[in-house]
Structure formats: structure tokens, C-alpha cells
Structure 1
């Protein structure tokens, strides 16, 4: 996806300045503009989208960090024209590579063909069925309430994911499937993430099948930005926010802009020096994309490492072009592999990821099967997601620091849903709040 031109410098004055043109900032700005407010969006980068971006490499679409769009998210249905994105659904299942071969597991309703006899015998033994039922029991109970998300994220019920899976008694193939699949979703291989938050994610997977827009994940923020023509100013990095008698002055690379209201809608790490709000612990990811001459399989399924001891760093890989044909030129094939990048650790090595992905996908020659793959791009994203440790409360109140409203997925859930909800809430807070005033 091509970069959006930076455009002219930001104006000297605006009613509201939104810092950051990620999903939260764009949704906040759209909501304010729809309410008739004069809005200026200042973005440090050369594109909208924040951490949701798509690069074009030799005719292939490569998202920065493997991401999927789940159409079951309520905020997507409310704020986004999902059909216009041309969503291409991935198969509702996964393939687990084990010592005994490849085991496939799928949603029993959305993908019943992914449950052949060998997978059913390996993954759905009676004791493990009961263990899985114990793990999802809070989800079932929450579904019976008027506010299932709030019930799931209750502080009184929360623990770490690892503790919750241990308590349920999950082990064997099913446990490895859950561990590896969820590690790729929340970018946490230690199981330290809030179990309540993970159950909320599993609920969204049960309600909808994630996919990829026909023009890449970057199409989502570009759609959000379309009604904001002229209001978004790229390559305007905000350096500091100064309180004034009638509001605030936002100092940026292009000068400064005065405003009655300011919303900082960056990620948590960029927000910290502007607001003093402590940044969350980061979750990082490394994603590699290859053009391959002849894919080892054509299903588009996510492939996971189900060996008793993982054979390499990859948490998931797939032949993306099999599920999302628009990601590759006609007649060509695209493979992605992602690895968790723990804070403070060295990034997973390029060749180790290639060999592991080739083994998981069953490439001819095993790990050596990646020798003919052409590396298109390697994305190293150390600040991919904010960590969500327990206890994690649902719907935290909108945060203000010294009169500045703070928004972003670090204030809600670490997801596209969380970013959109946070942006909309921040906008409502501005609409309800009097102008900033010096104390």
C-alpha cells in the first residue's frame, strides 16, 4: 500500500488535536468530526494506521506483523464498512505438526471437514473434553449475562492463562495446540496473559472467522482515514504538550498547534513521555514473508509446532496466498511465519525461522525445503502489543492526565476491538468535557 503524502503543515489552532493516526486516533477523530468538531490529527509516521500497516513487495502484500481481522468484533460492525474491505477468510482451524505427523483441528460448525478420525482421536479424548469444558466454563457463564465481556473480565475470576489451563487439566496434543495457537495471538509464550482476556478472544473466534482484507490489513486504517481528508498531518511528531490559559499548545516537528482539547491516541510507549502515564510491558513479534515456487500445502491453515519440545522459534506459519489470493500475484505463492520476540531477548534468527516454517508446513526436504524460498521482507516489531497481565478489568474509565485524554489499545484490550472502542470513548469524553483550563 503506497504512502499517503504528508500534506501541508498543521494549522496554528484547532478545537481538538488528536495525537496519533492509529486505529484509536482515527476513530476518535471521526467521531469528533461527525459531531461537528474541528479536528487536527498529528501523526509521526508517513502513513496512517500505526501498527496496522501493509507493505507492497514485488507485487506481494505483506502486513507488518501477521494480523487478522475478526468480523465478529462489535466495534468493527459498528464503525467499519467490513464488506468494502473484501475480507478473505482463513480456514477456521489449525494444523498441529507432531511426532506422529500432522493433526488438524477445526471449528466443529465452521470447518467440520478439518476433523478427520485421526485428529478426533488425538484431540478429543473424554478426559480432555472435560478439561476443555472446564476452561471455557467461565465463557459459557458469561454468555448468559447481559454484559458478557464485563463478566469475563471480572477481577475476581482472573488468573494467568497458564494457571487456568493447568487448573482445567489440559495436557497432551490439545494443550500444545492451545499453547501455540494462543501464543501467536497474544505474543506470549509464557502463559502470563490474563486468562479472562484470552477467553474473550476465544469468544470472538467462536462468533466469527478471521480473515484478511483484499488490499491488506492497511486497508482498515485507510478506510477510517478517508472522511478525515485534510485533517491528518503525517510526519508531524509531537514532542511535548504545554498547558495554556485557554487549553493547550501541542509542539511538533512542524511548529505548534493550539487546542481547547488534546487526545493522545498513540501506543502506550509513545504516550508515556507525553502524558507521564506508565507504558505497559511490550510484546514483540518477528514476521517473515517468502515467495515460494511450489507451496507444500494449499489450505491456508495456520500450522503450529505440536512437538513435545518445539523444534524452532515459529509460533505459526501458513501459505497465506491459499486463503487470501490477493496477497500474491497470479500464479505465485506467499508464505508467512511469525515468532514471538520477548522483551530484552535477541530477535529470532532469519534462517532458524525459515527452517522451522518449512518443517511445520511439510515442505519437501523438511527443514531444508526452505532453500528455494525467496525472502521478501522481514518485519521486526518489538512493540507489537501491550502485555495484559491479570487481573484485567473490563472497560476501564477514560484516563486523563493533566487535562489530556489518553486513548489506545493499552487502555482497553490489546486488539483492534480495543483500539476502536478506546478511540470512540475518548471522543465522547471530549464531547462531554469542558475546555481545558489552567489550574
Structure 2
């Protein structure tokens, strides 16, 4: 049995096939395993080439079910996410998440509260704060407070404080909207997996108003959050995929692999029998009984599983559809000076309002950012700080120098400090970073081309690590069935991405 591609899907499939008693060879064109899950070491920093942020209830659970990844550690972000908008930062998290953090130590408690970079902190339910405590429209304020108390009893006190500081009715609306959003996310986390599948499928952008989320926060807060998690600025992604992603965020939060993305495929490859994985071998053609390579001859086999990216798979298997892609650029900055206390934590920060750029320039480029060394200290040497930022859409294709210049002004506002002395360590652009999943989207695309020839990868499922693993499970199950062998029980069957 030959597996073409030593990315996440190919390595996971090799484990399952070997556990079923088959002899497997994995051929990889690159000099290292991992596919897009790569981490570079630059001047003492560990830099991921792709965003690499996981929804822990979704991707993280899938990793946990692979015995070869028992030694993998996932570093969580602070619960929820920070939404930076109009100079203010709000923490958006389900009520259940906020309560869970409050039970921890001082650091965990601080992570669960709303923050304002370099300014006094506010709770997750609070909206824009103001020093002028004279509110307009006392009747509106009383009604808003009653609504907030009914929706979020645990946050009523903080909501009341925010309402007393609100200057306008719009501010009051934001306060109540955030309280409602917090409760709505908590309810969303409890929706059964099958409940998501029963909802009408729409483009995610159109579905925002039909998911029981408050209208204003849905557009100003949830939309940019989903944009960041899906790498899709236009939100053309299927609403079922978006729902699944939002549910994973609400249930488990976000995190990254300790040591960088490359740790995942490295652990998988190390757990395979010696000689199973052969790197630097470029495959030029495949058939049911042979694999031709560029410089390493022909590998005879009884079946072939193509586990490469979508475009490479289509080159080896003519007729396979190549999807559209979402481009991404990842910027890594070294920061020598300490960040302000309110900006140095392990939070996932979404730039909720990028608007027009400074001086009439283009809109600000960064979609989301985080202090990578705070989330995972192994990303930088002690005493050093690594900030990772992501640019999506057309702007991601700009030259690194221009993108870096545009990002610095934006990041200065987000982190509340000068970025003039930040050092750009790397700018990784990938025009085909994330396969698009527009509605209607089939998360169970066929993995059997014909008997003896199979395909798997995130492009056959959903554009996520869990999608890659799910497609690998379906492909190996089909291979074993065709070989007349007992199938290995599928571990992800109950929650294949919607």
C-alpha cells in the first residue's frame, strides 16, 4: 500500500492502515513531513507558516483521539476572544466559559474579564466605557438593564456599570447586545451536533441574522470572529461549516500546538515503523498497482491513497475538482520591549473594525493577532516576545515590506504601544492556504476513485485539521472494506464537520 503525501491526513491514514495489518510506504515530495503544518526556527523563535489556531472542542478533540499524539500539548488562549473596535476592546465569551475561568487563579480570572489594551479592564458583558456618567434616556436605560439582567444574571452588575457609563443610546444598545451575545453563545455551545445539520444551509454571511444572535453584535462582533476562524473575508462559507466552527469556539475555545504546528506531523511520523516515510520522493503518476516517481523509480503496490493538497491530487487523479482557495499571509514580529500589561496576555484578538486606513489609505490589513509567546512560551526564548498576525483576502498578496508597514500602524493601536522597533521575522504568504467551502458544501466528498485508488485530505471534508483526519478515516475504512479486512472503528463519525 502506498500513501502519497506525508501531511496530517496521509500520516493519520498510514497509522490506521498499519494497525489493520497492511504494509505501508508513505512518499513525500518535500524534504520534511507535515504538508502545510510547518514551523521554522529563526533567531531563536519558532514561526508557524500557517495561522494554526485550533478550535479545541473540534480540532483538539480529533488530535486527542490519535494514540501517536498522546505527547502533544495544546496551549489554550484565554477563554473567548478579544474584539478590538474603535479603540476599545471587548471580550466575547460564552457565559459558561467566563464562569469556568473565574474559578481559577488570579491569572485565569484576569483572562476571563474583558480587557482594554493599556486601560482598565471590563467584563465580558460590558460595552464601551465612558467617564461621563450622565446617561441619556433614563427610561431606555432602565429597560435595557432589565433586559440584560434577565438574559445574563451573572453579569448584571458589570452590565449595570457599563450602562451607567454609556453616553448614548447606541452605547446602551452595544452593552445589551454584548450581554445577549454572551448568552446566545452559551446556548449555541449546547446545541447537539445533529441540531446544526438540521438548519437550512446558506452562505454564512446570510445566516448570521438567522441564528438567534443579536443583529448589531452579529455584524460587528460575530462576523469578524468567523472571518478570522474561517479565513474567509466575504463569509461565502457554508453556514453549516460556520455553525460548526462557532460551536467549537463556544464549547472549547481556541489553542495552538506547543512547539509549533510541525510538532503534530513530527510526532505522527516518529510513531510509524522505521522506513515507512520516505521524504524527497516526488510522485509523477499513480495507478491501482504502481506509483511512478521522478527519480526513485516505480513502487509496486496493491492500492494507492493520494493524500496531498487539492491541486496536487487533481494532477495525479485527472477529473478531481480543484476548489477555490482563501489566500493568507502570516506576519511574525519580534518585540524587544515589554508590551503594556493589558496587551501581553494569551488572548486571540480580532480586529473587528478595520475601516479606512490612515490618511485615506487602504483599509487596515490585519484580521487577527495574538502574542504567540504568551500562549506558547516555547515560541520564543525567555525574555523575548513574539507577536503573530494574519492578513486575509486580496491584501495578503501585497509585498511583505508594504504589508508590514501597513500592519504596524494598526498593531500599534491594538496593542497600545509603538511598533517602530518591532522586527519583522517572516511573512509567509500562501495563495492556496484554505480550500473554500461555499454553500452548498458536501463534507463527505467521495474518497474512492475506483477499487485500488483512493484520495483524502481536507479538500474532501472541511478545511480544518479535523476535516483532514475525518477524510483519512473514511478513506482507510473504504480501503479495508475493499480488501475484505475488518475495518478499524471510526473515531470521528459522530461529529464530522457540518
Asked if Structure 1 and Structure 2 have the same fold, meaning a TM-score greater than 0.5 normalized by the shorter chain, the answer is: yes
Counterpart of 1:327 (choices 362, 366, 379) is 379
Matched, 1:165 2:165: no
Contact 1:135 1:164 in 2 (8 A): no
Question: How do 1:35-434 and structure 2 match up within 5 A?
Answer: 35-73=20-58, 74-80=61-67, 84-99=71-86, 101-112=88-99, 113-115=112-114, 116-117=122-123, 118-119=126-127, 125-126=175-176, 143=192, 148=193, 151-153=195-197, 157-168=200-211, 170-228=214-272, 229-242=274-287, 247-276=289-318, 277-294=320-337, 295-296=339-340, 297-307=343-353, 309=355, 311=357, 312-342=364-394, 346=398, 349-363=403-417, 369-400=418-449, 403-434=452-483
Contact 2:325 2:431 in 1 (8 A): yes
Q: Which digits, 9 at most, give the CA deviation of each residue in 1:246-303, with x for residues without a partner?
A: x233334322211110000111111111112011111111001111012242112122
Structure-2 separation of matches of 1:359 and 1:374: 17
Normalised TM-score (structure 2)? 0.74
Structure-2 separation of matches of 1:275 and 1:136: 44
Larger gyration radius, structure 1 or structure 2: 2
SS of the equivalent of 1:389 reads: coil
Structure-1 separation of matches of 2:313 and 2:477: 20
Structure-2 separation of matches of 1:58 and 1:308: 31
SS of the equivalent of 2:30 reads: coil
Relative to structure 1, is the Cα distance of residues 302 and 71 closer, same or farther in structure 2, using a 3 angstrom cutoff? closer
Contact 2:7 2:37 in 1 (8 A): yes
Instruction: Return the offset for 1:335.
Output: 0.4
Q: Normalized per residue, which structure has more helix?
A: 2
How many residues align structurally? 405
Instruction: Return the offset for 1:343.
Output: 9.9
SS of the equivalent of 1:284 reads: strand
Instruction: Return the offset for 1:99.
Output: 2.3
SS of the equivalent of 1:111 reads: helix
Normalised TM-score (structure 1)? 0.84
Relative to structure 1, is the Cα distance of residues 350 and 253 closer, same or farther in structure 2, using a 3 angstrom cutoff? farther
> Which one is further off, 221-230 or 80-89?
80-89
Contact 2:448 2:455 in 1 (8 A): yes
Q: Structure 2, unaligned stretches of length 5 or more?
A: 100-111, 115-121, 128-158, 163-170, 358-363, 485-498
Higher relative contact order (CA 8 A, sep 6+): 1
Structure-2 separation of matches of 1:314 and 1:124: 24
> Which one is further off, 73-82 or 122-131?
122-131
> Which one is further off, 114-123 or 63-72?
114-123
Match of 2:15?
A: 30
SS of the equivalent of 2:18 reads: helix
Relative to structure 1, is the Cα distance of residues 96 and 135 closer, same or farther in structure 2, using a 3 angstrom cutoff? closer
Structure-2 separation of matches of 1:45 and 1:233: 10
Q: Which digits, 9 at most, give the CA deviation of each residue in 1:69-95, with x for residues without a partner?
A: 344234222215655223221111222
Relative to structure 1, is the Cα distance of residues 388 and 23 closer, same or farther in structure 2, using a 3 angstrom cutoff? same
Relative to structure 1, is the Cα distance of residues 170 and 188 closer, same or farther in structure 2, using a 3 angstrom cutoff? farther
Q: Structure 1, unaligned stretches of length 5 or more?
A: 1-15, 364-368
Instruction: Return the offset for 1:213.
Output: 2.6
Contact 2:64 2:70 in 1 (8 A): no
Contact 2:93 2:250 in 1 (8 A): no
Structure-2 separation of matches of 1:21 and 1:198: 28
Match of 2:106?
A: none
Structure-2 separation of matches of 1:125 and 1:401: 57
Contact 1:21 1:49 in 2 (8 A): yes
Instruction: Return the offset for 1:377.
Output: 1.1
Contact 1:106 1:114 in 2 (8 A): no
Q: Which digits, 9 at most, give the CA deviation of each residue in 1:92-112, with x for residues without a partner?
A: 122222225222223423335
Structure-2 separation of matches of 1:387 and 1:358: 31
Instruction: Return the offset for 1:158.
Output: 0.6
SS of the equivalent of 1:400 reads: strand
Structure-2 separation of matches of 1:415 and 1:94: 19
> Which one is further off, 70-79 or 198-207?
70-79
Structure-1 separation of matches of 2:377 and 2:460: 35
Tell me the C-alpha RMSD between the 2 structures: 2.8
